[in-house]
Amino acid sequence: MKTKPPRIPLWLKAAYTVFLAVMIPVYWTNYGPTNFLYFCDVALLLTLVGIWKENALLVSLPAVGILLPQMLWCADFLVELSGGKLTGMTGYMFDEKRSLFLRGLSFFHGWLPFLLIYLVWKTGYDRRALWGWSLICVVLCLAAYFLLPPAGADLASSNTPRNVNYVFGMDDAKPQSWMPPLAYLGTWIAALVGIVFIPTHLFLKKVFTPAN
């Protein structure tokens, strides 16, 4: 029985693995373990498994979840780089209190969405990803809301994540005040599913072949 040739080049798998082997301990040391509950970091870890297993679902999940937000990250970075202001989400990339090496690792936000597009092209798009990532989103948001520091929390280190996944509002310095906290949380999760995940799912479903 013939084995299928690999769809993803070995050099890409190795390069991605080496990057994470460097990034994970550096982020753990500087930001702590809770940093890995951000959507983008969960996407990185899912992609690591997916890229080696060449598993369509494991690369489709992060694609549904982060393609739009990370494209916004790219746009925000370019605007900040040119001296403007868009959302402020990449302001930390210009914070001279953080080492260039640490900030350089965060450039994964810029290349990960393009890598995911390539991976979905190679493996096919698994349509279960919408429901799977939506469930992951709910779990991560609830964990961030009930277990992690809120926006504006006074912490020993300024690098320790607060307001993970923006569950307390869009400003890490203070919680939103225009609706009750739990109402905001529910609205935020619904907005992510309806405005981010579903449109991305429809795009991927239309453009890429279904996974085998």
In the chain, alpha helices (H): 10-31, 39-53, 56-81, 100-105, 108-123, 129-147, 181-191, 198-207
- 182 is written with which tokens? 């739990």
Mean pLDDT, range 127-137, rounded to an integer: 98
pLDDT tens across 173-205, in order?
899 999 999 999 999 999 999 999 999 999 999
- In this predicted model, which residue has the larger pLDDT, 155 or 65? 65
3-state DSSP assignment of residue 96: coil
- pTM value is 0.92
What is the distance between the alpha carbons of residues 12 and 165, in angstroms, rounded to a whole number? 29
To the nearest whole percent, how much of the chain has pLDDT over 90?
A: 77
Mean pLDDT, range 163-173, rounded to an integer: 92
pLDDT number for residue 112: 96
pLDDT tens across 73-113, in order?
999 999 988 888 887 788 888 888 888 999 999 999 999 99
CA distances for 37 relative to 28, 138, 179, angstroms: 12, 12, 25
Q: How confident is the model at residue 2 (pLDDT cuts 50, 70, 90)?
A: low
What is the distance between the alpha carbons of residues 23 and 40, in angstroms, rounded to a whole number? 13
- For residue 67, pLDDT beyond 90: yes
Task: Give the chain's mean pLDDT.
Answer: 93
Contact by Cβ (8 Å): 201, 127: yes
What is the distance between the alpha carbons of residues 76 and 48, in angstroms, rounded to a whole number? 26
pLDDT tens across 5-56, in order?
778 999 999 999 999 999 999 999 999 999 999 999 999 999 999 999 999 9
- For residue 118, pLDDT beyond 90: yes
| 172: Cα separation from own chain's centroid | 17
Q: How confident is the model at residue 1 (pLDDT cuts 50, 70, 90)?
A: very low
pLDDT number for residue 50: 97
